[in-house]
Chains A and B, each alone.
Chain A
Amino acid sequence: MENTTKKTISRKTLNKSFHHWFYGHLTAFSQEHMQTFGYLTSMLPIVEELYDNKADQEKAMKTYTAFFNTEPQLGSIIVGITASLEEARANDGGVDDSTINGLRAGLMGPIAGIGDSLVVGTLIPVILGIALGMSDGGSPLGAIFYIIVWNLLGYFGMRFAYFKGYELGDKAVGILVGAQGKAIRKAIGTVGGMVVGGVAATWVTVKTSFKLTNSSGKAYLVLQDKLDAVYPGLLTAAFIVLCWSLMAKKNISPIRVMLILVVVALAGVLVGFFNPGLTY
């Protein structure tokens, strides 16, 4: 009972599968199944095209009921890879359930790591940083710039990842988790670190109003000026490092850190270290 013609997924179906992922990867999110349903809906057109009889379709769909969650933008590549593996399975290419799910489970973590630092940690803050500058003073230009640039990069980037995954199939795995993947991640981390530093220095300002005045009311020590003379933005940088160490070293949740800052702010206001200088 061997098939004479090799089954291939049509371009139209691949497009459909990609768009199902692009739109629906998180719409039915729950803590328990996360992106599993998005995955099922993007594999469905492929499974329906590859298998004619119902029993085979059911068997194939069962594979994708396994838990799935990753960084969804870059994660498109995993959907593309499994599309190619499903095609191989339909052609009896020595691929089974455990091959596909082993690969999916093995890629979720690394792709989430790369995706979070590349897309959410670097790309979005850079575009937002540029956009914030354009919107300084209340202009809508920056917001419009962000909408256009991010969506074009997001859509075509995800599309590229999906089709690259399909094209490479299981060969993509070696590239993603091998030495090259690691080198790329480190390089991206460098860009990310510097850009975040730039964002912090440009957009975050922590200032002290602490000063000492002599009897005639003239200030002879303005702490903020002294600190900036040592290193511009010293106080801002110090607060960021403090927040980082609370979260990374002491494992305090961001919400708790925010509450700590409320206490710090109150104490600072009471002793005159902070004063936003409000007037009516």
Chain B
Amino acid sequence: MTISWIQACILGVFASLSSMPGMAGSTIGNYTLGRPLVGGLVCGLVLGDLKMGIAAGVAMQLVYIALVTPGGTVSADVRAVSYIGIPLAMVAIHSQGLAATSANAADLAKSMGTLVGTVGTVLFYGTATMNLVWQHMGWRAVEKGDFHKLYAVDWGYPWISHLIFSFLPTVLMTHFGANAVQALKTALPMDGIPMKTLFTVGALLPCVGIAILLKQIVDSPVDFIPFFVGFTFAASLKLNLVSVTVVSLIFAMISYKLDMAISANRQPAPASSGGGSVTDDEEDEDI
């Protein structure tokens, strides 16, 4: 399996659309096209192996099931994961002769995708830094009262940043990387320590994705209880995700009603008795 220039260019356009400050807007771009599951669909169609594309996308999606970017700090770049990592993983799976939907193929995809995704954060900072040039032009336009220039600054010029930091890296890395991946097979035998480690890392990496998400919702050890209840439902009782969500709603309802009842009780009390502490808790949010 190789990646032609035309295929690489299509992937490059999708990379420009899907990155964190992407040209398709964050709802359609980052949160749709940037998700590895959707990236797997696109890459599968472009490279002509839909089944393998989806399988690689599913595997990588697990690592990044909750890619939160609090305050614009990124730990992985979705354009690199979805449009450089997935195509290269597909080539690697193909050249290693693994079955598309096997667990080994999934682990290989995870390692490959995460490696590329982490290195790809360079692309994120590159794009964001280059956008400063357009923003500088924007500030001058605002000073002059030439407000319509803002549309070009917000929607037009950043394409140039993406040409340099999304399109070109994707085209070059997928086109030439595919050959490198083919060579990897002879260099690293499957039963050697490096490959075993790579696959094991692939199995461990989703734990980081889950942990990033947990960091958002767990402040104290007690907050782990909902997580373990959900875990138990799925692991021991074999409930599927929709069922787990439905069960969780009843706990959410109880929690909400309880909190509202408590705050309703507090209302008649003198204003000094703790109204202040309620708002204090809210202040320490990340932006």
Contact = CB atoms under 8 A, between A and B. Distances in A.
A126 B241 contact: yes
Contacts of A58: 145
B142 interface: yes
Interface stretch (B164-172, B176-184, B229-237): B229-237
A61 B51 contact: no
A196 B209 CA distance: 10
Contact of B239 (A22, A25, A73, A198): A198
B278 interface: yes
B287 A193 contact: no
Contacts of B204: 206, 239, 261, 264-265
A173 B109 CA distance: 45
B6 interface: no
Contact of B131 (A30, A65, A72): A30
B52 to A, nearest CB: 7
B68 to A, nearest CB: 5
Contact of A143 (B41, B203, B206): B41
Interface string A169-184: 0000000010111111
A76 B287 CA distance: 15
A220 interface: no
Contacts of A126: 241, 245
A108 B72 CA distance: 13
Nearest to B50: A140
Contacts of A151: 27-28, 32
Q: Which of B44, B125, B191 has the largest number of chain A CB atoms within 10 A? A: B191
Given A198-B230, A258-B118, A132 B128 contact: no
A204 B206 contact: yes
B153 A28 contact: yes
B248 A190 contact: yes
A28 B135 contact: yes
Nearest to A254: B75
Nearest to B121: A255
A72 B68 CA distance: 12
B286 A109 contact: yes
A27 B241 contact: no
A123 B215 CA distance: 16
Contacts of B118: 255, 258
Interface in A1-56: 22-34, 37-38, 40-41, 44, 47-48, 54
B223 A189 contact: yes
Given A200-B227, A261-B208, 6 more contacts: A28-B21, A128-B65, A194-B245, A203-B65, A248-B211, A276-B203
6 contacts: A28-B135, A30-B131, A143-B40, A193-B214, A193-B223, A262-B197
**Closest 8 CB pairs between A and B?**
A197-B230, A193-B226, A29-B21, A194-B230, A183-B259, A138-B51, A201-B234, A243-B211
